[in-house]
Amino acid sequence: MLRLDDAVIANGAFRLQADLEIPAQSKVAVIGPSGAGKSTLIEAIAGFLPVETGHLLWNGREITNDHPSTRPVAMLFQDGNLFQHLTLAQNVALGLHPDLRLSPDDQKKVDAALDRVGLAGFERRKPADLSGGQRSRAALARVLVQRRGMLLLDEPFAALGPALRAEMLDLVSELVSETSATLLMVSHDPQDARRITNLAVLVAEGRAAKPVDTEQLLNNPPPVLRKYLG
Amino acid sequence: MADRAQPLSARAGIWAAAGVAALIFGAFAAVIWRAEAGRGLGPSDWAALRFTVVQAALSALLSVGFAIPVARALARRRFPGRRALIAVMGAPFILPVIVAVLGLIEVFGRSGWVSQALGFLGVPPLQIYGFHGVILAHVFFNLPLATRLILQGWQEVPAERFRLAAQLGVDRWAMTRLIEIPMLRKVVPGALAVIFAICLTSFAVALILGGGPRATTIELAIYQAFRFDFDLGRAALLAGIQIVLTTGAAVVALRLGQGDSFGGGLDRAVRRWDATSRLARQIDTLWILLGTVFLLLPLLAITLSGLPGLADLPSSVWQAAATSLLVATLSTVLVLLLTLPMAVAIAFGRDRLVEVSGFLGLAASPLVIGTGLFVLIRPVADPMALVIPVTAGVNALTVLPFALRILVPRVKDIVEGQSRLALTLGITGQNFVRLVLLPRMRAQLGFTAGLATALSIGDLGVITLFADPDIATLPLQIYRLMGAYRMEAAAGASLLLLILSFGTFWLLDRGGRGHAET
């Protein structure tokens, strides 16, 4: 369980307040108008932005000031999720050992992860040789070997077409369920949110609200969200 | 491809570029025509060729080698004064060579600060004249350039990379391998090639610190053949060798180099989570301190030693300063008259003009052009009588490639953004220049004029070929004072030169920004 306890997140001059709990193994959409602070919330959880006051707790353990690498978090960004000069196998292996020194056992894990996301046989390819969908799959394979309790998505599939994006979201949903992880996903598209999340956090007017049922929020949106959804 | 309708004609720019090319190729042709190739190269010519290549290679390696840790430290640390330090690293570009060399002599010379400190420890004083002095001066000038180029490489690493690395908890070596080495592999070859090309045409540094059979560059050898032996055939032969050398280096540098250190945004500090250990922090601090001290100490030395002499400078110095200002003004006007139409032509799709003129700027060394012009002028007029226009013209040619790199992107923006509106309103030709182009380019024009003026004021190059004893620019006058061992007057005049070149740059650059729109 992730808890933001009276937290105020600083992003330049902007401040976002959050006092909420994300239940373990839930799938949560982060919804709200552009520029309201959806990414700010995610980045603070990942440790890229400072929590000015308040606390951030994971299963009761304080992680407010932890280094990004020691947090129970794997994150996919909008782009730049792979190192262009490394092969797919190496990119995935980074999730196990950042120095790329792998035991035979680790090697098996890497192969299994690539196999799981449908990229068996692509071990020696480099990101430049792949399609957008394949690159997303490779990044997901790394998330898989990272075995973190939480997966944060900051619209990593925004550049993909609708069908491919749906395919990726389904894969994410499956992987999160298989690994008993918690998913937090920034989304611009209500369809995406409906597709794989059960809860939704509304970020608007400088606040991140407590999570509520995704369907309910989207079916009966408060005025600020209605205006955004159109 | 049919040309789109445009509010301006590219014709003026094409003529300007053709004029520049004709001048440079004319000088080249004159050199080749006059060169006495039959005589072959003497042992001292071979020595000059070898020294030129070796010192340029070593200067490039050392500059880039030291720049890597300095740039790394600057890229991952944030501290008060960081922005100012990065700005100061742009200063050596307009710093007059003779001023810097005098400063270096006062710090590292036989009776300099370092030698005095060593004296207390019973260590014999340093010797700055010769091979290592030339290298030292080249590293002084090019370490900041290399640092800025590599810093730009760091700046172009997407922020996500550092976030990803932080999340994966990569250690120092993994950081090096994952981010730094791939970045360096892209940036370093270009930086090496550019610095190598710059050092190939080194003249003033070799003139003051070098000389003799072991430390003479080809540029210096051309000057010596000219001034001491008045052997025009040999000077032309050496100039021919220099053309081959610099053209080759320019081809390589242009192919490899992508960054330019004029790019903005270098002072932006990307948030990083690596290298938080105390050792890493101390190492970075050390490199930043070393880099800063090495850069600022000679400037401090020349300021301190110049102050006493500044009060009663000989009148010859003031005369020389006036001559320098005249040359610089002519040169700056010429640069603007040539580059603005060329930039317009380039913005209208005559891209090849940039390559040609940028290439010629890198490949044409001032002394080669000077030799060529001397050969061309002598049958029709007394070259010595034309010293001021020739110096101004050659100075303008050397600034040309930099000026284009500053002006072209802005002209492109303006043309792309505004030419359709201007066309529908019928604003074309002179009206477009007056109402749209010039007002929106003030900042770039000011910066260009500042660079052109400062570089021309500080230049000690082609003037040495053409000047008779009655006339001198300020750098040449300082050189003559040094030759007469009037060191106090030389130091005072150097401080004056420093103030003039930085002052005019500041005034022009600021004047341009006064009403700058964002």
The predicted pLDDT at position B268 comes to 62
Q: How confident is the model at residue B234 (pLDDT cuts 50, 70, 90)?
A: confident
The tokens describing B120, both together, are: 């207390």
Chain A CB contacts of B159 under 8 Å are 80
The predicted pLDDT at position B266 comes to 61
Q: What angle do CA A80, A128, B271 make, to 5 degrees?
A: 20
CA distance B119 to B128: 16
Q: Which helix (H) or strand (E) holds A85?
A: none
The predicted pLDDT at position B257 comes to 64
The tokens describing A193, both together, are: 């949110």
Average pLDDT, stretch A10-25?
Answer: 94
pTM reported for the whole predicted model = 0.82
Chain segment A48-87, per-residue pLDDT in tens: 889 999 999 999 999 999 888 889 999 898 877 888 888 9
Is there a contact between B399 and B453 (Cβ–Cβ < 8 Å)? Answer: no
Q: Would the pLDDT of B263 be above 90? A: no
Other beta carbons less than 10 A from residue B231's beta carbon: 15
Is there a contact between B34 and B375 (Cβ–Cβ < 8 Å)? Answer: yes
Percentage with pLDDT > 70 across chain B: 92
Any idea where the domains of chain A sit in the sequence? Answer: 2-229
Chain B CB contacts of A73 under 8 Å are 167
List phi, psi (to 5°) of A51. Answer: -90, 115
Q: Would the pLDDT of B260 be above 70? A: no
Q: For chain A, what's the residue count? A: 230
Q: Which residue has the tokens 């490394």?
A: A86
CATH class entry, domain A2-229:
alpha beta
Residue B117 forms contact with A (CB below 8 Å): no
- Mean of pLDDT over chain B: 87
Q: Is A65 helix (H, G, I), strand (E, B) or coil?
A: coil
Chain segment A111-145, per-residue pLDDT in tens: 999 999 999 999 999 998 899 899 999 999 999 99
The tokens describing B197, both together, are: 């090309």
The predicted pLDDT at position A202 comes to 95
The answer to whether the Cβ–Cβ distance between B167 and A100 falls below 8 Å is: no
User: What residue of A is the nearest CA neighbor of B170?
Assistant: A98
Distances from the Cα of B481 to the Cαs of A76, B485, B487, in angstroms?
66, 6, 7
Q: ipTM value of the model? A: 0.73
**Highest mean pLDDT: which of A149-163, B40-54, B131-145, B172-186?**
B131-145
Q: How confident is the model at residue B133 (pLDDT cuts 50, 70, 90)?
A: very high
Average pLDDT, stretch B191-208?
Answer: 92
Average pLDDT, stretch B197-214?
Answer: 89
Q: How confident is the model at residue B1 (pLDDT cuts 50, 70, 90)?
A: very low
The answer to whether the Cβ–Cβ distance between B163 and A46 falls below 8 Å is: yes
Work out the angle between the directed axes of helices B315-347 and B474-483 (0-180°, nearest 10): 140
The answer to whether the Cβ–Cβ distance between A80 and B158 falls below 8 Å is: yes
The predicted pLDDT at position A14 comes to 93
Among the ranges given (A157-171, B266-280, B329-343, B448-462), the one the predictor scored with the smallest mean pLDDT: B266-280
Residue B322 forms contact with A (CB below 8 Å): no
Distances from the Cα of A105 to the Cαs of A93, A110, A111, B208, B507, in angstroms?
12, 9, 10, 65, 67
Average pLDDT, stretch B41-48?
Answer: 88
Q: Which residues of A touch B (CB under 8 A)?
A: 46-48, 67-71, 73-75, 77-81, 83-86, 94-95, 98-100, 146
Within chain B, how many helices (H) and strands (E) appear?
23, 0
The answer to whether the Cβ–Cβ distance between A68 and B166 falls below 8 Å is: yes
Q: Would the pLDDT of B97 be above 90? A: yes
The predicted pLDDT at position B267 comes to 60
All structural domains of chain B: 1-34+312-518 (1.10.3720.10), 48-304 (1.10.3720.10)
Q: How confident is the model at residue B393 (pLDDT cuts 50, 70, 90)?
A: very high
Q: What angle do CA B164, B166, B170 make, to 5 degrees?
A: 100
Chain A: nearest CA to B167, how far in angstroms? 4
Q: Is B215 helix (H, G, I), strand (E, B) or coil?
A: strand
CA distance A151 to B278: 32
Chain segment B341-353, per-residue pLDDT in tens: 999 888 887 767 6
Give residue A84's identity as a one-letter amino acid code: Q
Q: Would the pLDDT of B419 be above 80? A: no
Task: Give the mutation candidate from B157, B162, B164, B173 for the A interface (greatest A CB count, under 10 A).
Answer: B164
Long-range CB contacts for residues B263-266, cutoff 8 Å, separation at least 24: B263/B152, B265/B155, B266/B86, B266/B148, B266/B151, B266/B152, B266/B155
CA distance B132 to B151: 27
Residue B270 forms contact with A (CB below 8 Å): no
Q: How confident is the model at residue B422 (pLDDT cuts 50, 70, 90)?
A: confident
Average pLDDT, stretch B489-498?
Answer: 94
The predicted pLDDT at position B516 comes to 43
The predicted pLDDT at position B32 comes to 83
User: What residue of B is the nearest CA neighbor of A80?
Assistant: B160
The answer to whether the Cβ–Cβ distance between A48 and B271 falls below 8 Å is: yes
The answer to whether the Cβ–Cβ distance between A75 and B163 falls below 8 Å is: yes
The tokens describing B290, both together, are: 């070393």
Q: How confident is the model at residue B517 (pLDDT cuts 50, 70, 90)?
A: very low
Q: Would the pLDDT of B436 be above 90? A: no
